[in-house]
Chain A
């Protein structure tokens, strides 16, 4: 069974950092691109970042570019999101999602999400 399990969320003060992780299982992780998608409370979905199978292609939403860094460790079947200079508007449920392909396209499988709250 394909499974994505996010972790690392929590309450953090504005300006601080947080690192999210996503553990993948049930598929050949290094065959697929991966993404982070977030959803602020009561709001719609927002694509945050994506990374190709070999980390050769990476993209960021304008809202996080320069502050967030996506990475992956294929040996550990894991995806990461390093979030720096956090702002109140980064408060959201962060989902890890598996791409259809090795390059960046769209997602077929989602995790259950990890909540990030940025507040003093």
Chain B
């Protein structure tokens, strides 16, 4: 079955740039999406269709893709950005797939 692979954890100091990667064979053909989930809360969309940012999401969040790798970048990470981040895409049959999630620590 199709898999999206993320690092389990990323740690940065406040103000530094955090990069979270997501790799998957179908990413060159299927858009990646990124969701932020803070403890005890429902997920929130932070990046869609590779690099678009929904209204209300700070400009420090950006997305990019190259080949089979998608990257979520948080430029100047803040303490409030601490959360689990999940990439999402679909396989060739249209089934949804999440990455395993990355725990971002900002301290």
Interface size class on chain A is: 20 to 34
Given contacts A45-B35, A62-B1, A100-B48, contact A95 B42 (CB under 8 A): yes
Residue B31 lies at the interface, judged by CB distance under 8 Å to chain A: yes
Which of A15-23, A24-32, A76-84, A104-112 touches B?
A104-112
Q: Judge whether B94 and A106 touch: CB under 8 Å.
A: no
Count of A-B contacts judged by CB separation below 8 Å:
62
Residue B45 lies at the interface, judged by CB distance under 8 Å to chain A: yes
Which of B21-29, B68-76, B85-93 touches A?
B85-93
- A44's partner among B33, B95, B98 (CB-CB below 8 A) is B98
- B94's partner among A44, A57, A108 (CB-CB below 8 A) is A57
Residue B14 lies at the interface, judged by CB distance under 8 Å to chain A: no
The minimal Cβ–Cβ distance linking A29 to chain B, given in whole angstroms, is 19
Q: Within the assembled complex, what's the spacing in Å between the Cα atoms of A77 and B97?
A: 26
Q: Judge whether A61 and B43 touch: CB under 8 Å.
A: no
Q: Which 10 A-B pairs have the closest CB atoms?
A: A47-B96, A44-B101, A106-B33, A110-B42, A45-B98, A108-B45, A59-B95, A45-B86, A104-B94, A44-B100
Q: Which residue numbers of A lie inside 8 Å of B, CB to CB?
A: 35, 37, 44-47, 50, 57, 59-62, 95, 100, 104-113
